[in-house]
Amino acid sequence: MNQTKSKYGANKIVINDIKFDSMLEANYYLHLLKEKEQGSIIDFDLKPSFTLQPSFKKNDKKFHPIKYIADFSVFLLSGETLIVDTKGVITPDFKIKQKLFEYTHPDLTLKVLKYVESYGGWIEYDNWLKEKNKRKKEKKKP
């Protein structure tokens, strides 16, 4: 396992000759390998890419497409495909890409996951925020 730093301070890591942007992403990869081995999922792909806005030309200037690269596509036994992104922190750029993804790909489900030991492991980021805020409010009550 080799490690280098990414632009957000996360350690890049190599497992099975695959380079991951963070330890979080690498751990979810290992989780998916177990899920596949146990028959809980059919399969998964790494780094699926989605076009959020195609390239275009205006006034003789070419504009590149806007793309979103998720961490994983997970193929469920039900036939559904989940798009999964693992996040330690949600950035403003990601929020915009998430909205564009939801608009341009209404047929796909995007799950943003975070690993929090105290919440039992993998949890959807939005659910974690709700639970975190709920616990914060409970602590403030006299």
**What is this structure's pTM?**
0.83
DSSP codes joined into one string, the chain = --EEE-TTSPEEEEETTEEESSHHHHHHHHHHHHHHHTTSEEEEEES-EEEEE--EEETTEEEPPEEEE-SEEEEETTS-EEEEEE-SS--HHHHHHHHHHHHH-TTSEEEEEEEEGGGTEEEEHHHHHHHHHHHHHHHH--
pLDDT of the chain, 142 residues: tens digit per residue: 555 555 556 788 999 999 999 999 999 999 999 999 999 999 999 999 999 999 999 999 999 999 999 999 999 999 999 999 999 899 999 999 999 999 999 999 999 999 988 878 898 888 888 887 877 777 776 6
pLDDT at 134: 79
Show me where the domains of the chain are located: 42-140
